[in-house]
């Protein structure tokens, strides 16, 4: 299984690799966008400022969009989740992937920002990504901006305001927290993503002429 872990200089790839290894797969980092043509899954991690995502230029965007259109599952982690949306108020001139509609906004100044530490999930609707992850599961967050509540939201968390903690539209999924730092529940979520990848591979093999 080729899980492509995108390196755009804004994430701790080592911890993400360890998390996936515990879940049953070791991601590889593509050197150029063409490497995504054979990917079974794509993971976009990240921490820090939304402007860092501008490193993903048109060539990377086109390759990721093409993969998603082929049915390849895409997972965004933390900043990677925010990048799945149209953009963020943190960097108004920097557009996101646009796979999910909406704009990310800053958390309220009535609470400590950034939001760092453990917080519980409230599950909004069933998702294969959350299979075996109970309501109230504690996950590790570190962020100042958050995604809006849209019909793509499958779980929320609260820090000054309710925000989207897990999103899914078809095979495009994202988590605002760091599953690789969230203990057994985080590993379970990554394992669920890998199950989605296996199912997608089987579907894509089945429909080939």
- What torsion do the CA atoms of 39, 203, 185, 148 make, to the nearest 10 degrees? 80
* H-helix segments, the chain: 13-23, 58-70, 79-83, 183-207
Query: 67 — alpha (psi -120 to 50), left (phi > 0) or beta?
Result: alpha
| CATH, domain range 3-207 | 3.40.50.880
User: Domain-by-domain residue ranges, the chain?
Assistant: 3-207
DSSP 93: T
Inter-residue contact 97 to 54 (CB < 8 Å)? no
Inter-residue contact 40 to 5 (CB < 8 Å)? no
**Residues with a known catalytic role:** 78, 178, 180
- Helices (H), strands (E): how many in the chain? 4, 12
CA 156 to CA 147: how far, in whole Å?
10
Residue 205: what pLDDT? 54
Reading the chain (209 residues) residue by residue, the pLDDT tens digits are 999 999 998 878 999 999 999 999 999 999 999 999 999 999 999 998 999 999 999 999 999 999 999 999 999 999 999 999 999 999 999 999 999 999 999 999 999 999 999 999 999 999 999 999 999 999 999 999 999 999 999 999 999 999 999 999 999 999 999 999 999 999 999 999 999 999 998 887 544 44
Considering only CA atoms, which of 18, 17, 8, 85 is closest in space to residue 44?
Answer: 8
**Among positive and negative, which fits the CA dihedral 149, 55, 47, 130?**
positive
Inter-residue contact 4 to 30 (CB < 8 Å)? yes
CA 71 to CA 172: how far, in whole Å?
9
In the chain, DSSP assigns E strands to: 3-5, 41-44, 74-77, 87-88, 103-106, 115-120, 122-123, 138-143, 145-146, 153-158, 162-169, 172-175
pTM across the whole model = 0.95
Considering only CA atoms, which of 85, 152, 148 is closest in space to residue 125?
Answer: 152
Residue 207: what pLDDT? 43
Half-sphere exposure of 98 (CA within 13 A, CB side): 6
């Amino acid at each position: 299984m080729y899980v492509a872990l995108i390196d755009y200089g804004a994430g701790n790839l080592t911890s993400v690799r360890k998390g996936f290894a515990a879940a049953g797969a070791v991601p590889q980092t593509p050197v150029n966008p063409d490497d995504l043509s054979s990917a079974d899954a794509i993971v976009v991690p990240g921490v820090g400022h939304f402007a860092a995502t501008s490193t993903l230029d048109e060539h990377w965007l086109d390759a990721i969009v093409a993969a998603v259109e082929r049915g390849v599952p895409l997972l965004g982690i933390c900043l990677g989740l925010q990048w799945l949306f149209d953009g963020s108020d943190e960097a108004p001139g920097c557009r996101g992937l646009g796979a999910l509609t909406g704009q990310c906004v800053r958390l309220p100044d009535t609470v400590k920002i950034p939001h760092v530490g453990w917080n519980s999930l409230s599950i909004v609707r069933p998702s294969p990504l959350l299979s075996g992850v109970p309501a109230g599961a504690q996950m590790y967050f570190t962020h100042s901006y958050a995604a809006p509540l849209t019909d793509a939201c499958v779980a929320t968390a609260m820090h000054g305001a309710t925000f989207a903690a897990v999103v899914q539209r078809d095979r495009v999924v994202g988590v605002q927290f760091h599953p690789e730092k969230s203990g057994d529940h985080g590993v379970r979520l990554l394992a669920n993503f890998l199950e989605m990848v296996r199912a997608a591979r089987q579907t894509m093999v089945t429909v080939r002429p």
